Every structure is written in structure tokens, then in C-alpha cells.
Amino acid sequence: MLSPQDKAPPRDEMRRPGGLGASRIGELATLPVFFVLGDRRVILAGSSAGALWKAELLQAAGARVDLFGEFGSEDLAQFTLGEHVRHQHRHWIDADFKGAALAIGEFESDADAASFRAAAHRAGVPVNIVDRPALCDFQFGSIVNRSPLVIGISTAGAAPVFGQALRAQIETLLPAGFTRWAEAARAWRPSVQALDLDFRARRDFWEAFTREALSRPNETPSEAIRGALLDHIREPDAGKQIGTVLLVGAGPGDPELLTLKAVRVLQSADVVLFDDLVSPAIVDMARREAARITVGKRGHKPSCGQDEISALLVKLAREGKKVVRLKGGDPTIFGRMNEELEALRAAGIPFEIVPGVTAASGAAAAAGVSLTERDLARRVQFITAHTKEGQLPDDLDWQALADPGATTAVYMGVKTLPRLIERLLASGIAPEMPALFVESASRPEERIIAAPLADLPAKVAAAGAAGPGLVLIGAVVEHAEAYAKQVYSQALPAESWQKKDKFVTT
């Protein structure tokens, strides 16, 4: 029989799917914008190689540059400055700023810098003073150039070298061939717009274009590819088709454990439905325009009904939306995905499953152990220790769970842990079998509690575990650093392991 605290909440206390009330974007130190400078005039004052580099950069962006400053012939020879850079052999005056798009100055004197800034502002021209952030209306960042695909990186002047290092990282991730695809996108856009398609159909075209670019980035986009993509959206009912649902694994919590496909799907979603266990940083990866609906289900607490979630998925897809159902871990492992799939199949809604890193893998990685090991752990078994009524399941194969040659990962076992261990001990598992409780695996608040199996419930209770937890049981656990530190600490010298705050030593 359910205890009072385990009873389902009254219907009026149950949660409902709801949107996020918080801002969709955190505070920005600067607003990233891109100036269109084609055939526009820019004032540039300075006398160093840095000023000449700025001239070359502005020239590459199509600007007409009035360059004020004295430069030696050797300095000028190091840069390729064309007819759009006009070297003015005089000091700038207020009249030079009239009609300019930008003004950039490099000065040793504070007074000269302030005078240049004041002249630009009198003409209503945004100004940048090199190495003087307090005098700047805008800043230059590090650039990744795959023009017309351009990526700018800013640290708001805090750490330019850090920004340059990030640029180097991004450079390695973006094939040079993306330039050709970005140029094709610019060339093809008018023909797509001329078809007078609705928003969904246009987005379908560009999503298909993006898939082609990502799958063969070093190829030159051909007219045949464009024709095939246009044929696809010209089909009858294109853009008016029923939507689709993607069931996406969000992993155990660390955003870096998302798959590339999961990121791509999130960035093309119209609506995102997500559980409480999904990290906010992962939800933030969805495109800005996507609606975000929280549909959290929490054990022993008010939760959204599964039938309500399934009905919402069907409703949104019938409206033609691309719906991402974001689930913690992997959606196919104890994620109640089958109930949502049944509703989608019954309604004829197309769906796709995008797997994620399951909690057991995240917990093993956190503990530094392998779930399998030759001659020690012949198989891995995943179980849930929580029925929909909140009780320990009665139909588990207890003899299999007591097998010393297996590694067992226990999901949703915090509330039922004492009873679970009691049944395992009664089934013949050794009381000294190594075990770990990993709380909030892969998240900043991650903690690991280690103990012989018989002692684990008491240690978990003493530690006051509150976050999502997973239990690992098996001989492989003995190899975990956490196990050595917490269980064998009296037998080993302190320097034999590295201190880690996530290891609980009660």
C-alpha cells in the first residue's frame, strides 16, 4: 500500500506543460553585430603596422578607407592596400567625418584619443579607439573567415589572446569548403524567394541545403543539387505537410556530451518539450525562435501527466511544427518513450529517435571505471528500481542481479535503495560487493558515494543525496578512484590518490 507521501497528487496539484518565464538569453557584455561596409567610407587614423592591418581588413570588407598617419615605405610594403585605401598626408579635421560609416583611431596621447572620439561623435559616427575600451562604441574581435560565412569572437576586451585561441579551435572545425556553400546560399536565395513559399517550406529547403553542406563540405555546390532541392519543395503539399517529432537524448547533464545530431536538431526546432532533468544550458542550444515548454515528470512530486504530454506532441505536429522532445540521458532507456511513440503512431505522426549518452555511461565516466572487463564483468544489466507507483518492482530477476560476473546499473533507485539492497543480499550477492552511488553525473554538482553494497544505503542517507542518482554494482567498481579513497582510505597513504571534492567521505 502507498504511504501518504507516495500517493499521486490530486489532479488540481498536477503540473501542466508550460513555457519558460525566464529570459531566453543571458546578459551580454557586447552586442554582436556585423557592419555592411561595401562602398562606404571609414576614417582610420594611426601610424603603426596595426593601423595598416586595420586598413587591409576594412578594404577586404569593401570599405573606402581614408587613412591618416605617417608611414614608412617598408611598413606600407608589408600590406596589400589597393585603390580603396587613400593615404591622406595630413592631419584629420572635423569635416572628414561627415558621412563616414565608422571611425577608428590609434593614439599614444589620451588627449589625441579623446579629441578624435569627440570629432566622430559630433558627426554621429561610431568610433573605436585601439586599446582604449572605455572610449569605444564598438570593438574588433577575432575573425573566422569563410566569407560570406563570417564568425566573430569577442571577449569584450577582457582577453584578446583567449579569443584568438578560440578562433584557432573553430578554424579546425570549419572546412574551407564552407565558403563555396555560403556563396551558393547567397546566389540561390533569390530563386528560392521567388517561389513565394511559406515559412515552413523555405525552412525545409535551407535545412536540406545545410544537410548537404555538412555531409560533403569540400564539394562545390552544383546546379544539380540546387535543382534537386527545389524539386523537393515544389512537390504537391510542400510546406503544408504534417510536422514531425524528434525524441532526443540530452545525456546525463553535461552539454558537451550532446551528439552533433542532437545539437543540429535543437537548432532547427519550432518547439522544444523538455524534462526537469535536462540541463538549462542544453535547452538554451535551441534556436532563439523556438517555443520552449517544460513538461517535467518528477518522482513523488507534482508532475505533468504522460497522456497530456503525448497529446501535446500530436497536437503540435498536426500544426506542421518540428517538435523536439528532449529527454535526459537516452530516450530509449527508462524514458517512457514507448508511450509517446504509441500516441504518435496512432496519429500517423512521423518521428525520429536521436540517441543520447545514458546515465549509466555518464556515471561510469565520472567514476573512472569500465562497465565491462574481461573475466570480471561479462555483461551489463540496466534496471529501474522504481515502478509508476513509486515502489520497488517485484518482477526483477534477482538471481541475475546477484551474479558476481555482471555489472548492474540501477536507475531511479534513491527512494527504494534500502529495500533493493536487502533483496539483493537475500538473493545471494556478497555484502562486500563494491558499489557506487553517483549523484548528478557529469554536472558541476556531481558527487560519488562508494561503499561495500551492504553499507551503501546508510552512506547515501548520511550524505543527504538529493539530485538524480544512479547506482553501479559489480566487481569493476573496485577499480574506481572513489572506491579506493572512500573504502580503503585507512589502508593507503594519502598521496596515493588525487583529492577530489566530488568524493563523499562520510
Which residues carry out catalysis?
A: 275, 297
Comparing CA positions, the residue from 366, 390, 337, 503 lying closest to residue 442 is 366
**Beta-carbon count within 10 A of 449 CB:** 24
Q: Give kind and range of the element (H or E) at residue 143.
A: strand 142-146
- With H, G, I as helix, E, B as strand and everything else as coil, classify residue 190: helix
In 460-506, which ranges are E strands? 469-473
Cα first-last separation, the chain = 33
Comparing CA positions, the residue from 258, 299, 446, 424 lying closest to residue 363 is 446
Cis ω for the linkage preceding 17 (within 30 of 0) = no
**Residues 135/127, Cβ–Cβ less than 8 Å:** yes
Alpha-carbon distance values, 156 to 120, 141, 142, 306, 351 (Å): 21, 8, 11, 45, 42
To 10 degrees, what angle do helices 306-318 and 337-347 make?
Answer: 40
b/e string for 213-250 if b means 16 or more Cβ within 10 A? beeebeeebeeebbeebeeebeeeebbeeebbbbbbbb
Q: For every residue of 265-298, which 3-state class applies, written as one string?
A: HHCCCCEEEECCCCCHHHHCCCCCCCEEEECCCC
Q: Are strands 18-19 and 434-439 parallel, antiparallel or unpaired?
A: unpaired
**Beta-carbon count within 10 A of 191 CB:** 10
